[in-house]
Amino acid sequence: MNRPILDTGIKVVKNVGSFNFGAGALDNLLQHVDTRRARATTANEDGRVVYLVDEFFFDRPETLDRLGSTSQDRIDFVPTTEEPKTDAIDERVADLIAAGFSAPATLVGVGGGITLDTTKAVANLLTNGGKAEDYQGWDLVRVPGRHKIGVPTISGTGSEATRTCIMTNIRSGLKLGMNSDHTVFDHLILDPELTATVPRDQYFYTGMDAYLHCVEAMAGSYRNAVGDAYARETLNLCRQLFLADDMMSPESRERLMVASYLGGCAIGTSYVGLVHPFSAGLSVVLGVHHCIANCMAMRAMTEFYPAACTEFEAMAERQQVTVPRGVCRDLSDAQYRALYDATVIHEKPLTNALGSGYREVLTLDRVVELFQAM
């Protein structure tokens, strides 16, 4: 009997080990880092800590000074102009090993999805060896990665909760993470004060990732009671905050931080649908960032998600955020072909959304039409 395509082994749900939550939670980081340092010698680790910090914080000592770093530690700033590439991850790991940081007491990732995913990938590679591309797929990571703590500074991607870390392999065109229980963070600091300085547009696009994960999951064929419960509450919180007067009030920022985490848990037990594969096409071929690409893709999804599309437009309007239009008008035939290839390659979510015959619905012409409608 053929193994069904959606049967990828979500049999045991792995969640984040522990977390601190609430305004000011960042002050708890020092204690967790110190605990890790104290046990380092017995655990064959070297007592130093690797911080991977979103470059946004490069000149923000008010945040950097609270991370608990010493002069012995390593702080690397993670550029966020491009989403993680397998080659860049490999270089980062090689640099750390060359600098003597192959067995840090913990890695602390401070930032958005790019930084958190980078931290997860690096932690896995420091113990598993090999190259990042070796682990793109399901359950290929052999042994637990280095201990890692996540400190999200923008909400929506759910990276803080999930068992994956999305990376693009430029040579193969594959945008896929290391889906593994070993990828899950050991500890999180969820401090909604950290999202107060995010630019409004970016806050909206990224927050919508949580909303869309759950819209797609709830419309799919692969459903389960736990995933549904996480997804329903995520959507509930998103409606409360994105249809409120100010999506960035302290209450709204707290709600979105919870929605992001729960949305990550939801997607960890289910699959996305159509928006994410089309979004991945935009990212791989045109270099558009994940969250804004989702919003662009959602514009063309009316026939698949009619109610959610209407609600999405209402949220954008309420928050006075503009989603750019026309990103795929007037491209070359080769570019449209590349967009098609980079979209239909995502067979799990597309099967979840449309069934195993999804390619009959998503023909080359149809896919090109949808991209042109964005």
Q: List interacting residues with Zn ion (CB under 5 A).
A: 209
Q: Which is nearer to Zn ion, 90 or 209 (CB)?
A: 209
Residues with Cβ within 8 Å of residue 269, at least 6 apart in sequence? 10, 13, 224, 226, 227, 230
Buried b / exposed e over 294-329, threshold 16 CB at 10 Å, is bbbbbbbbeebbeebbebbeebbeebebebeeebbe
Q: Which is nearer to Zn ion, 92 or 175 (CB)?
A: 175
Closest distance to Zn ion from the beta carbon of 276 (Å): 6
Both tokens of 297, joined, read 């893709």
Closest distance to Zn ion from the beta carbon of 359 (Å): 23
Q: Which is nearer to Zn ion, 209 or 311 (CB)?
A: 209
Closest distance to Zn ion from the beta carbon of 180 (Å): 18
Closest distance to Zn ion from the beta carbon of 129 (Å): 29
Closest distance to Zn ion from the beta carbon of 33 (Å): 29
Question: CB atoms < 10 A from the CB of 70, how many?
Answer: 10
Residue nearest to Zn ion (CB): 209
The CA distances from residue 218 to 45, 165, 213, 280, 329, in Å, are 43, 22, 9, 20, 31
Closest distance to Zn ion from the beta carbon of 298 (Å): 12
| Bridge partner residues of 177 (DSSP) | 166
Q: Which is nearer to Zn ion, 106 or 234 (CB)?
A: 234
* Cβ-based burial of 245 (10 A; exposed 0-12, middle 13-18, buried ≥19): exposed
Sole residue written with tokens 């042109």: 372
Sign of CA dihedral 233, 289, 333, 170: negative
Closest distance to Zn ion from the beta carbon of 30 (Å): 31
Closest distance to Zn ion from the beta carbon of 290 (Å): 6
For Cα atoms 108, 260, 303, give the angle at the middle one, nearest 5 degrees: 140
Specify whether the CB–CB gap between 13 and 226 falls below 8 A: yes
Q: Which is nearer to Zn ion, 101 or 222 (CB)?
A: 222
d(CA 41, CA 308): 52
Q: Which is nearer to Zn ion, 123 or 217 (CB)?
A: 217
Q: Which is nearer to Zn ion, 29 or 292 (CB)?
A: 292
Closest to 64 (Cα-Cα) out of 148, 153, 146, 126:
153
d(CA 4, CA 348): 10
Closest distance to Zn ion from the beta carbon of 16 (Å): 18
One-letter amino acid at 119 equals: T
Q: Which is nearer to Zn ion, 49 or 208 (CB)?
A: 208
For Cα atoms 361, 218, 227, give the angle at the middle one, nearest 5 degrees: 130
Q: Which is nearer to Zn ion, 191 or 209 (CB)?
A: 209
Sign of CA dihedral 259, 136, 89, 72: positive
